[in-house]
Amino acid sequence: MSSKRVYWIEGDGIGPEIWRAARPVIDAALAKESDMRIEWVELLAGEKATAETGSPLPEETMNALRTADFAMKGPLGTPVGTGIRSLNVALRQTLDLYACIRPVRHFEGLETPVKHPERVNMVIFRENTEDVYAGIEYAARTPEAKKLIAFLREEFGVTKIREEAAVGIKPMSEFGSKRLVRRALRFALDTGSKSLTLVHKGNIMKFTEGGFRQWGYDVAAQEFGDLTCTEKEPVEGRLVVKDRIADAMFQEALLRPEQYQILATPNLNGDYISDALAAQVGGLGLAPGVNMSDSLAFYEATHGTAPTIAGQDKANPGSVILCGALMLEQMGVPAAAERIRNAMSKAIAGRAVTVDLAAQVEGARVVGCQEFGEIIGACL
């Protein structure tokens, strides 16, 4: 019997509850389709790590992840505006998890804010290490901010920045942009998708987001030229590479979602559009995601820690369960992944769901986090 080691981080807030509900479902789905088993190894991060080690992100955790193939985690909390910078961002940058991949689809039976949520079936590839999320910023009126403003004025003649401003830097590189788009292109071709769309704000930020757009087209032409074409010069049977301005893409996602399959985006745009698309199909409770380097696939719940309901058995474990489906696909057991998705559909059809989904399911009976996981497991 073969096994795959998966490092897991419980998470803060509702993290412990959703893990208890999700892990048995993942194990059971795998057992029904394969002799392979998962060896789960816990790592510490967040509040639990701080309580036990004094550090929210211990070096022992990072050392283990540097050698890992697979990892999963619940939500990790970070104070807003003060204290430690985001643990999620720290993990992504330190481990070079440059591709945030978010599939978004609708589960029948969920009422949503749009008339035809079933038309949404997209996978978002978001660059994960650059852009404004690189965290290069300085608080207003600090010596660092004043020095940077003075440098820009004296060396580049930039006079439009107020002296009391906070300032940040938005790095976007050819290397980072191309490797993200390259990964998205390979996925699009492997899955037989019709199109890949570069989402950017290059009409205004011509050298950062405009660079992302151009580098995306370049990698498609230079490395996949015999398999791709552009929207302006379509070729029958080839993957169409096109681009959309970010704000226009939000409109397209509402009006014509069926025309888009794969999106490749810079960091900030991808954050916005992936959450907006999730809202169109029912919310973050059923939105899985994975952050990937060239060696590590790190799956995570896409929602937050929800501290107001922590410990009350009200949380929805669906995001982590569906992360498990993504992971099983990556492990080479797609039948187990599809079994989880089908079980989720059956559970929703049965109308016994957690409180966040109940408002979207006609005639729903509200159940707790643990029971919802058990219902999904029984539907496998």
Residues of each annotated binding site for Mg(2+): 271
Q: Record the tokens describing residue 156, joined without a space.
A: 């580049």
CB count in 10 Å sphere of residue 140: 12
Give span(s): CATH 3.40.718.10, the chain.
1-103+283-379, 112-130+173-281
pLDDT computed for residue 85 by the predictor: 64
pLDDT computed for residue 84 by the predictor: 56
- Separation between Cα atoms, residue 302 and residue 320, nearest integer Å: 8
- Separation between Cα atoms, residue 292 and residue 221, nearest integer Å: 24
pLDDT computed for residue 82 by the predictor: 45
- Separation between Cα atoms, residue 264 and residue 92, nearest integer Å: 18
CB count in 10 Å sphere of residue 310: 16
Q: What is the CATH number of domain 112-130+173-281?
A: 3.40.718.10
Strand partners, 127: 99
pLDDT computed for residue 81 by the predictor: 46
Q: Which residues are catalytic?
A: 133, 201, 247, 271
One CATH from 3.30.300.30, 3.40.718.10, 3.30.1490.100, 3.40.50.720 for 1-103+283-379 = 3.40.718.10
Strand partners, 167: 138
Per-residue confidence in pLDDT tens, the chain, 380 aa: 799 999 999 999 999 999 999 999 999 999 999 999 999 999 999 999 999 999 999 999 999 999 999 999 999 986 454 455 678 888 988 999 999 999 999 998 898 989 999 999 999 999 999 999 888 999 999 999 999 999 999 999 999 999 999 999 999 999 999 999 999 999 999 999 999 999 999 999 999 999 999 999 999 999 999 999 999 999 999 999 999 999 999 999 999 999 999 999 999 999 999 999 999 998 888 889 999 999 999 999 888 899 999 999 999 999 999 999 999 999 999 999 999 999 999 999 999 999 999 988 989 999 999 999 999 999 99
Secondary structure of residue 228 in the 3-state scheme: strand
Residues of each annotated binding site for D-threo-isocitrate: 86, 88, 92, 102, 126
- Separation between Cα atoms, residue 279 and residue 285, nearest integer Å: 10
Reference 48, options 57, 39, 60, 59; nearest CA is 57
Strands 288-292 and 297-301: antiparallel
Residues of each annotated binding site: 86, 88, 92, 102, 126, 271, 316
